[in-house]
A and B are shown apart, each in its own frame.
Chain A
């Protein structure tokens, strides 16, 4: 059992009681909600005649269903309109802070909370969304929950949960040029597999992690869940503190000093005990692309789709399913596979630094005629900043469509969808069958820089050729 890690410290601090069944009752410091997984929770409160216990510890925004082409109300899609109206009504009724479209602070919930300074070290953070693990980048313990648990947090500010084990993923050396956080996390998931993290929290550490910016760290923690880990985190350091400083909801004045002192005490102790430790050499990683239907089915840009014989017995079943679904041949190079749609956005890679990197690749280049390319900023703040820097113009000049913020084609709950068996190069997090809105649509996950390179060439390409 782990001891003296950040996870242990934060868990123990938030433990309210040991429940009769044997699981822990954990206090949730920050609860984030959105329109998709909260309406039934509010419905359940009503049925049970309960109130929201601490309305100021819940913050709402709208992201999954929002259209990205035309956000004027009412939305064209009646069901989407009904969902945003329900959220508006629930927030009003229960006095919950809501960052609506046009507030300047709306966006993907996992982009918005950090940029507002709501996400801070040492907190427990829960949200009805599996990518809540993103917030662990700040040294918080953050995890996705289902709607019944959203109900529990609203009613009690606590949930029942079994303590997770802790696996440290030590990333040695540095990423090389043209290789990004997305490549690192895809590589980790490939090495460990999509279910290795079940029952674990992942602590990402080591020189390669220290080197990353806060936004890159968010990309890493975001995809912990794709490795099966409900929670991923990074010990906070000076980069963490300076990112938070001066954010809208960051501690101010004398509180800042107090906060800083406490945050610095949270890191995993030198002699802390982990349930498991895994080492990764970051310097050996190439730009990485998925070829299959799970996020672990990835290879370096210069590699070939693995043959069945090269895979472990446990991976064969899903590999066969992937060859068939993707219509790719074992042994085929991933490089030069034609792409039809290019999507930059999502809670994994829809932040300002992602847009900057992609814009750098696209500057004075044109998107291939055969490609539909669009960029969806992660939040209104990201969009605003990008416009101030002229990035929107670079994207549009290259042939990318510039859209309004939301989750968009990461999960295709709005009208941004693949059609038929189109192949998309996507900066999002899941390449599941049908994930991007078409039951036969094919998703290749990669970094935003790699999506930009694929857009220019109309096929999977090595972004390093654009960076020299």
Chain B
């Protein structure tokens, strides 16, 4: 298992690391972390169970089991990655395994917002570019990318790619405001005021 793991904190401007390529569309969060590992009251030990069933099926040949990938930090995926269950355990497991950023053709909505909320930037690229990276990483087992978030660029020795990321997400990472709670709390007055706008708060009889 991986040695060092630190939770991301503050501004995220640059991510450097080796790529790990996972081929397949519609890879759901049940596959990323099967439901039996959700029986926990913290996320600490999820890293070792990431893709557990897929890895057992492939008996050591899964990308997350290959020796050359053990220090990989940037996950390369295809389309609709992270669909299905809203379990944040999925990006938490990926993060605890060592993933710091994901580049894919597309992401499921809830998975994407979970990643942003815990400090994993997710970028998109057209199918062709993803396939190019995936092909390159077949030839070069140790494909390194340097992601510059400010300019949305990913570079390696032979590649230079312009990444797409939602403006709101990019801003949050660059300013360090991706951990939303404190930002939301700054508007406490506005939240209190909102109570007066909502007609149903008055006739909701469960409020005692």
Residue A271 interfacial (CB < 8 Å): no
- Residues of B contacting A77 in the complex (Cβ-Cβ under 8 angstroms): 39
Contact stretch, chosen from B142-150, B155-163, B184-192: B184-192
**Nearest B residue (CB) for A293:** B26
Among candidates B30, B36, B87, B191, residue contacting A432 with C-beta atoms closer than 8 Å: B30
* Pairwise interchain contact B187-A195, C-beta atoms closer than 8 A: no
**Are A43 and B108 within 8 A (Cβ)?**
no
- A144-B86, A432-B84, A439-B53 known; A160-B183 Cβ under 8 A: yes
Q: Which segment, of A1-9, A115-123, A180-188, A298-306, faces chain B?
A: A115-123
Whether B125 sits at the interface, judged by CB under 8 Å, is no
Q: Find B171's partner among A21, A80, A149 (CB 8 Å cutoff).
A: A21
* A residues near B57, Cβ cutoff 8 Å: 439-440
Report if A162 contacts B (CB, 8 A). Answer: yes
Most B CB atoms within 10 A — which of A123, A160, A255? A160
Would B184 and A249 count as touching, CB distance under 8 A?
Answer: no
Would you give the 0/1 interface string for B14-35, flagging 1 where the beta carbon is closer than 8 Å to chain A? 0000000000111010110011
A106 located at the interface, meaning its Cβ lies under 8 Å from any Cβ of chain B in the complex: no
Is residue B59 within 8 Å, beta carbon to beta carbon, of the partner chain? Answer: no
Smallest beta-carbon distance B13→chain A, Å: 15
* A-side interface residues, number (CB < 8 Å): 91
Determine if A192 is an interface residue (Cβ-Cβ < 8 Å): no
**Tally of contacts, chain A with chain B, CB under 8 A:** 227
Is A329 close to B, CB under 8 A?
Answer: no
The reply to whether A413 and B36 form a contact with Cβ atoms under 8 Å apart is: yes
A352 interface residue per 8 A CB criterion: no
A181-B26 Cα distance, complex, nearest whole Å: 24
Q: Is B180 an interface residue (CB 8 A)?
A: yes
1/0 per residue, CB under 8 A from A, across B46-88: the answer is: 0000000110110000000000000000000011100111111
> CB-defined interface of B118-135 with A at 8 Å, one 1/0 digit per residue?
100000000000000000
Q: Which residues in chain B, 161-208, are within 8 Å of chain A measured between CB atoms?
A: 166-169, 171-172, 175, 177, 180-181, 183-185, 187-188, 190-191, 194, 197-208
Contacts of A251 in B (CB 8 A): 200, 203-205
Give the docked Cα–Cα distance between A138 and B200 (Å).
14
Q: Using an 8 Å CB-CB cutoff, how does the interface string of A251-273 with B read, 1 for contact, 0 for none?
A: 11001101100100000000000
Tell me the bound Cα distance from A256 to B83 in angstroms: 39
A316 to chain B, nearest CB (A): 9
CB contact under 8 A between A159 and B180, given known A118-B206, A148-B88, A258-B199: yes
The one of A16, A79, A83 that contacts B187, using a Cβ cutoff of 8 Å: A16
Please tell me if B113 contacts chain A, counting CB pairs below 8 Å: yes
- Chain A residues with CB below 8 A from B114, complex form: 146-149
**A48 in contact (CB, < 8 A):** yes
User: What residues of chain A lie closer than 8 Å to B197, measured between beta carbons?
Assistant: 13
Q: A332 near B: Cβ within 8 Å? A: no
Q: Give the nearest-CB partner of B206 in chain A.
A: A249
CA distance A230 to B184 in the complex (A): 22
Query: In the complex the two chains form, is B194's CB within 8 Å of A27's CB?
Result: yes
The residues of B that contact A198 with a CB separation of less than 8 Å are 80, 106-109
For residue B193, which residue of chain A has the nearest CB? Answer: A16
A321 near B30 with CB under 8 A, answer no
Taking the complex as formed, is B117 at the interface, i.e. its CB lies under 8 A from any CB of chain A? yes
- Which of A39, A148, A318 is within 8 Å of B42, CB to CB? A39
Whether A148 pairs with B180 at a CB distance below 8 angstroms is yes
Cβ B25 vs Cβ A314 within 8 A: yes
Could you pull out 21 A-B pairs where Cβ atoms are within 8 angstroms?
Answer: A22-B171, A56-B208, A129-B85, A132-B86, A146-B88, A148-B88, A148-B114, A148-B118, A149-B113, A158-B184, A158-B191, A194-B26, A198-B107, A230-B110, A262-B200, A411-B30, A413-B38, A430-B28, A432-B84, A433-B54, A437-B36
Which positions in B face A, CB cutoff 8 Å?
24-26, 28, 30-31, 34-36, 38-43, 53-54, 56-57, 78-80, 83-89, 91, 106-110, 113-114, 117-118, 166-169, 171-172, 175, 177, 180-181, 183-185, 187-188, 190-191, 194, 197-208
Q: What 8 A-B pairs are tightest by C-beta distance, nearest first?
A: A255-B203, A146-B88, A146-B114, A148-B117, A439-B53, A251-B203, A144-B86, A195-B80
